[in-house]
Amino acid sequence: MTSLPGDPKSFYRAHIFVCTNERPENHPRGSCARKGSEKLRNYMKTRAKELGLVLEDGVRVNNAGCLERCELGPTIVIYPDAVWYRAETFADIDEILDVHVKQGGRVQRLMLKPEDGPDHSAKKK
């Protein structure tokens, strides 16, 4: 996504969305909530505050409804970078906060690529 002349500046330097969608147990696509995403989101919010990223650095951590990638979850997307991650542990969250949010890098081992997950080509037509 490209900014256009006249677009307002992003309200947050990093706006992090953690999928907390919950589907019924045994749903074929699974759900991020059933994979522990709520605990991960709560931990990420707490750690971001402890690290001074929230107030001092313009970072916001929110929950999100379905991000359409629950098979790969728990899923996280960080805007305005539009980088998607799969995080399963608190250590994964720490690494994302340190490498991506603080340092501006990427955690390659946790990144999701557009070709990962369900095929949405039919929706694009």
Q: How many whole angstroms from its chain centre is CA 21?
A: 13
Using the predicted structure, report yes or no on whether residue 104 has a pLDDT greater than 80: yes
pLDDT in tens, 48-85: 999 999 866 689 999 998 888 878 889 999 999 999 99
Does residue 124 surpass a pLDDT of 50?
no
All structural domains of the chain: 17-113 (3.40.30.10)
Q: Are 77 and 17 in contact (CB under 8 A)?
A: yes
Rounded Cα gap, residues 24 and 15, in angstroms: 28
**pTM (2 decimals)?**
0.86
Alpha helices in 1-125 (DSSP H): 37-50, 90-95, 121-124
pLDDT-derived band of residue 119, with 50, 70 and 90 as boundaries?
A: low
Contact 92, 30 (CB under 8 A): no
Question: What would the two tokens of residue 43 be?
Answer: 């931990």
Q: Give the pLDDT band (50/70/90) at residue 120.
A: low
What pLDDT was estimated at residue 118? Answer: 64
- Here the tokens at position 83 are 């980088």
pLDDT, mean over the chain: 87
For residue 55 the two structure tokens come to: 């107030």
pLDDT score at 96: 97
Let me know: does 51 contact 100? Beta carbons within 8 Å.
no
Find out whether 61 and 14 touch, Cβ atoms under 8 Å.
no
Q: Which of 54 and 37 is assigned the larger pLDDT?
A: 37
Tell me the average pLDDT across 11-24.
90
